[in-house]
Structure 1
Amino acid sequence: MPIQLNEARYAYPDGTVAVDGVDLRIEAGERVAIIGQNGAGKTTTVKMMNGLLRPSSGQVEIDGRDTAQHTTAQIARDVGYVFQNPDDQIFGSDVQGELEYLPRSLRWPEQRRIERVTRAAAMTGIGAFLDLNPGDLPFAIKKFVAIGAVLVGECRYLILDEPTAGLDGRGLALLRLLIDQLEAEGVAVITITHDMRFVRDCFTRVVAMAHRQIIADGTVAEVFGDDGVMRDAKLERPEIGELARRLGLADASAGVAELADLLV
């Protein structure tokens, strides 16, 4: 069963419309990047997916269940959300406690708690930091602590808000491996990002938003190759893809290795 938005609209109390009539379906195991400039409606759209916001009109369903009939905590068990700034999410006095908060609050059996915490720490590479205060850790490590805390749960959909911000090459490589593993396990990964190289390298489906609506939904090549969409979304293609496109060697989704092979 998928995440399904049907004519979803959200207006703030002052009447400002943030999302206006969005139809979107995301299946389990998909890798979906939602792109667009600030104010396009990306964050509001994904917050409606996990119950942080409720649509003013229209409907949001998670695996056939209307979010209007469930609490945010209930929805979050299926749709995990990792904030852009980990300081907005982390509150534990040590990393171990941060990872154990959810299973302890839900009173999971000890063995299940240990297994899920161990798994999340291994997937996010934070095993060496379990005894440390998250506030003392570098920003990039804190981002993985926040991801790990969500992965301890058994969500079927994971939303990542600007996950590459503040990551170095090692962090980016770990993030890509993490997304690969989640896809293999049937977990859908949904990101909102301005990092077009990350989109090109890690995602198979791209949803472009502008003017509070979806203006394109397709493969990386389809969306990046549409001048009108990229112009309306106010986004630039990755430099290598743009070069490949201008040389007529490949489409705009091309990466460094692909372009090098074509030039050789």
Structure 2
Amino acid sequence: MNLIEVDNVSFAYTEGIPVLKNVTFSLNSGSVAIIGQNGSGKTTLVKLLKALLKPNTGDIFIKGVNTKETTAAKLAKTVGLVFQNPNDQIFKNKVLDEVMFGPLNIGQSVEEARENAIRALETVSLVDKKEENPYDLSLSERKLVSIASILSMNTDIVIFDEPTIAQDWWGKTKIKNIVRDLVDCGKLIITITHDMDFVGECFQRVIVLSRGELLLDGPTREVFSKEDVLRTAYLEPPYVTQLCRAIGYGGVFLSAEEFVKYYESSLPNS
């Protein structure tokens, strides 16, 4: 059984104006990026996966449970969603209380919730801020607090909404490492993002939405090789992919490190 099954799903906020049209795919463990321009249906799809919305037609199954027959609260043990704007997620006056809220809400004991919260704050390198008010932290730190609050729940599925927004190099590196570690633990990690470099470096599979329809779905390298199709959705591959293509390399390189390794291996006596 797949963790997520999306079967011929359509959705409209207003009758006759579809936001998603006949979308079908299945997901299991690993990392998946859902990309597309604003208005393509990405955010609506994530809300459907979290049961915040219900399909007009078609069905979504989360670990075999039809989202039409459950609620976002009941799915909280399975699906964790990190909001794009941490200010929409954070509401406690102390960082530790914020990160403990999710675990307590899904039935963990106070001791267990505290232990998991401390571990999550260590993961995002903010355990030294645990007694502070989240709103005394920078925006990038609040984003990491919101990530920790989901990590502490230990859900099988973690969804990141634009996780690299407001992050400097250190923050982006931290988030990339978190994604890779979660995948290594067998989790299903989903992101919706406009950051193609982040997608190229961290995600194994890419789903492209355009005007509410599923345009492409496949391994990241394969999807980013289809530049003509991406262009119809007003998308471009990662910068390193474009640069390597521009200077004459035919392969699809997804990170600078990948290209450097390839280049060094091609040198004489290497």
| TM-score, scaled to structure 1 | 0.94
| TM-score, scaled to structure 2 | 0.92
Bigger mean CA deviation after superposition, 41-50 or 240-249: 240-249
Q: Secondary structure at the match of 1:81?
A: strand
Give the distance between the partners of 1:2 and 1:106, measured in 2 at CA: 19
Q: For residue 194 of structure 2, what is the aligned residue in structure 1?
A: 194
Mapping 1:237-252, distance limit 5 Å: 237-252=237-252
| Residue 244 of structure 1, CA deviation | 1.5
Give the distance between the partners of 1:180 and 1:143, measured in 2 at CA: 18
Q: Does 1:256 align with 2:251?
A: no
1:95/1:249 CA distance change after superposition, 3 Å: same
Give the distance between the partners of 1:106 and 1:182, measured in 2 at CA: 20
Letter of the aligned partner of 2:212 in structure 1?
R
Q: For residue 205 of structure 2, what is the aligned residue in structure 1?
A: 205
Mapping 1:92-171, distance limit 5 Å: 92-171=92-171
1:75/1:104 CA distance change after superposition, 3 Å: closer
Give the distance between the partners of 2:237 and 2:202, measured in 1 at CA: 15
Contact 1:82 1:159 in 2 (8 A): yes
Contact 1:237 1:252 in 2 (8 A): no
Q: Using the aligned pairs only, state the percent identity.
A: 35
Letter of the aligned partner of 2:118 in structure 1?
T
Letter of the aligned partner of 2:5 in structure 1?
Q
Bigger mean CA deviation after superposition, 7-16 or 118-127: 7-16
Letter of the aligned partner of 1:61 in structure 2?
F
| Residue 107 of structure 1, CA deviation | 4.6
1:207/1:253 CA distance change after superposition, 3 Å: farther
Contact 2:33 2:205 in 1 (8 A): yes
Contact 2:201 2:254 in 1 (8 A): no
Letter of the aligned partner of 2:221 in structure 1?
A
Mapping 1:6-45, distance limit 5 Å: 6-13=7-14, 15-28=16-29, 30-45=30-45
1:206/1:258 CA distance change after superposition, 3 Å: same
Give the distance between the partners of 2:259 and 2:175, measured in 1 at CA: 24
Contact 1:159 1:191 in 2 (8 A): yes
Query: Which 5+ residue runs of structure 1 have no aligned equivalent?
Result: none
Give the distance between the partners of 1:106 and 1:4, measured in 2 at CA: 24
Deviations 1:74-129 (A, max 9, x none): 11221111111000110001101101212333452233222211221112221011
Q: Secondary structure at the match of 1:4?
A: strand
Contact 1:221 1:251 in 2 (8 A): no
Letter of the aligned partner of 1:249 in structure 2?
Y
Letter of the aligned partner of 2:125 in structure 1?
G
Query: Which 5+ residue runs of structure 2 have no aligned equivalent?
Result: none
| Residue 240 of structure 1, CA deviation | 2.0
Q: CA RMSD in A?
A: 1.6
Letter of the aligned partner of 1:80 in structure 2?
G
Q: How many residues align?
A: 263
Contact 1:37 1:210 in 2 (8 A): yes
Contact 1:51 1:76 in 2 (8 A): no
Contact 2:159 2:190 in 1 (8 A): yes
Q: For residue 228 of structure 1, what is the aligned residue in structure 2?
A: 228
Give the distance between the partners of 2:218 and 2:253, measured in 1 at CA: 12
Contact 1:208 1:229 in 2 (8 A): no
